[in-house]
Amino acid sequence: MKELVKIELKKMSLKKEIRNLVIANVVIPIVAFVPILADGGAMVEYAYSLVSLIILATFIVWQAVLISALVVDEFKSKTMMQLFTYPVKRATLIIAKVGLIFVLVLAFSLFTNLIQHSLFAGLSLFITNFSYTLSIGDILRIVVTSVSSVMLAMMTLTVGVWMKSTVAPVVTAFVLITVMGNINGFSLANNLVFMVMMGIVGVGCVMISINDIIKKDLIV
């Protein structure tokens, strides 16, 4: 399993992903803070929700892109055929890919949440009329939401395999973001019960997809 993970890390180029992580952490505060200020203070009340939703949306799309490149595209291009000739079970191969994506995106998501929420909490100390605090409850909410969103985004694999399309996972990611987003405070994205339930559904979907991949021949 360890060797399989190393192979997948080389395929995705970890240095490139880390570079993208740095870029994301520069762009996110700009994208989030501009509408907060431009609204004349109207968005201050929803600052926490806005920042959280932008981070969540960023990594759901990111995860969908990785799934499309590392799993769906390899089936379409038949490069998976070479992997299936290795003396390793198909289930192990697929789980290594999916597991790596899960761990990497979750780690990046938690890191970004730490940086961005700390940044906004710090800015609130110097900007008038901008109140932004983080409690222990908020931190727990961030962790649970991050884990649940990564689990939820695994649905993009199911759609990609079902439709045999590398575009489908990304489109599905935007649909998920739209469903979770709510203009009135982004309530769905910050509803822990909803996120946990959807995360469980996402895990169920990916288990079905993995089982389907194991039983079927290469997608053509």
CB–CB of 169/121 below 8 Å? no
Note the maximum CA span of the chain. Answer: 63
pTM value is: 0.85
What would the pLDDT profile of 39-92 be if each residue is shown by its tens digit? 655 556 667 777 888 899 999 999 999 999 888 887 776 666 555 566 667 777
* Domain locations along the chain: 2-215
Query: Which regions of the chain are under pLDDT 50?
Result: 183-186, 218-220
pLDDT computed for residue 112 by the predictor: 95
**Predicted local distance difference test score (pLDDT) of residue 105:** 95
C-alpha distance from residue 191 to each of 69, 142, 144 (Å) = 31, 11, 10
Taking each helix axis as running N to C, give the angle between helix 155-163 and helix 192-215, from 0 to 180 degrees, rounded to the nearest 10: 40
First to last CA, the chain: 27
State residue 39's pLDDT score: 62
What pLDDT does 183 receive? 46
Residues 66, 71, 72, 76: is their CA dihedral positive or negative?
A: positive
Residue 5: exposure state from Cβ atoms within 10 A (0-12, 13-18, ≥19): middle
